[in-house]
Amino acid sequence: MGERFIIEVICLGCGFVDDDVPFAPTSGFVTWECPKCSMVVDLAQYTGISYGSASNAGQMDALAELFRKEE
């Protein structure tokens, strides 16, 4: 699990604007298809947000380790 975003995407093919695009790299929501011209946009490339930077796996591991130490 990691960060989830709702972003605005402007289609590079036709200029269509969609202001309600889900982007969640760690959940597989990584592309958007323009409903007007069918161009597919790689959202990680479009936003500059990578899987690694959106992931909170390190934080979750640290939290789990705290609980393990309390046992």
Output the pLDDT for position 25: 77
Instruction: State pLDDT tens for residues 20-55.
Output: 999 887 778 889 999 999 999 999 899 887 656 554
- Predicted structure pTM score: 0.67
Rounded CA separation 37/32 (Å): 12
CA distances from 9 to 30, 50, 54 (A): 12, 17, 18
